[in-house]
């Protein structure tokens, strides 16, 4: 039953990526302002992979500013860095740095920043954002904060 759900979710995500995704993201050049649906809102972590929820005292999130800066919280520490957007919903996070304070949930929080590091493409459907790795595997999902 679980395998069937994962297969159905993967198929749904592939169909959404093929047909219902937001238009291609603009190519970011140094000095250009970023725009598009991923830029601006706060994105709260929903799932790691297709179904795993992290149990952290603070909900992990990130925000992308029009100047290409990204900032957020991984559940333990604040982080910041840069992001580049490209054609076909390409995304690349870079130079992520954290406050690096130890916490009891460090292993889980590191999974959040690892997801950002591994993100290759994204898909937005309504208030949901899904990151995919270079192998098209679902890395995780976020929900737009209200």
Task: Write out pLDDT tens, residues 16-53.
Answer: 333 334 443 344 455 568 999 999 999 999 999 999 88
Could you tell me the domains of the chain?
A: 2-144 (2.40.128.270)
In the beta sheet, which residues pair with residue 63? 42, 71
> Taking the model in full, what pTM does it have?
0.76
Distance between CA atoms of residues 69 and 39, nearest Å:
10
Distance between CA atoms of residues 135 and 133, nearest Å:
5
Q: Report which secondary-structure segment, H or E, holds 30.
A: none
Kindly tell me if the per-residue pLDDT of 128 is higher than 90: yes
Q: Which residues of 123-139 are buried (b: 16+ CB within 10 A; e: fewer)?
A: bbeeeebbbbeeeeebb
Residue 32 per-residue DSSP state: P
Task: Write out pLDDT tens, residues 67-116.
Answer: 999 999 999 999 999 999 999 999 999 989 988 777 888 888 888 989 99
Q: Which SS3 state, helix, strand or coil, does residue 17 take?
A: helix
């Amino acid at each position: 039953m679980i395998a069937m759900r994962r297969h159905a979710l993967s198929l749904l995500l592939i169909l959404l990526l093929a047909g219902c995704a937001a238009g291609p993201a603009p190519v970011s050049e140094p000095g250009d302002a970023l725009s598009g649906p991923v830029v601006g809102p706060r994105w709260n972590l929903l799932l790691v992979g297709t179904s795993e929820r992290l149990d952290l005292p603070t909900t992990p999130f990130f925000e992308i500013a029009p100047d290409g800066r990204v900032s957020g919280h991984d559940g333990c520490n604040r982080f910041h860095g840069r992001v580049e957007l490209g054609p076909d919903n390409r995304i690349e996070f870079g130079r992520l740095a954290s406050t690096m304070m130890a916490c009891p949930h460090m292993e889980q929080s590191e999974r959040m920043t690892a997801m950002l590091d591994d993100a290759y493409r994204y898909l937005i459907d309504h208030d949901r954002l899904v990151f995919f790795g270079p192998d098209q595997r679902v890395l995780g999902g976020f929900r737009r904060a209200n």
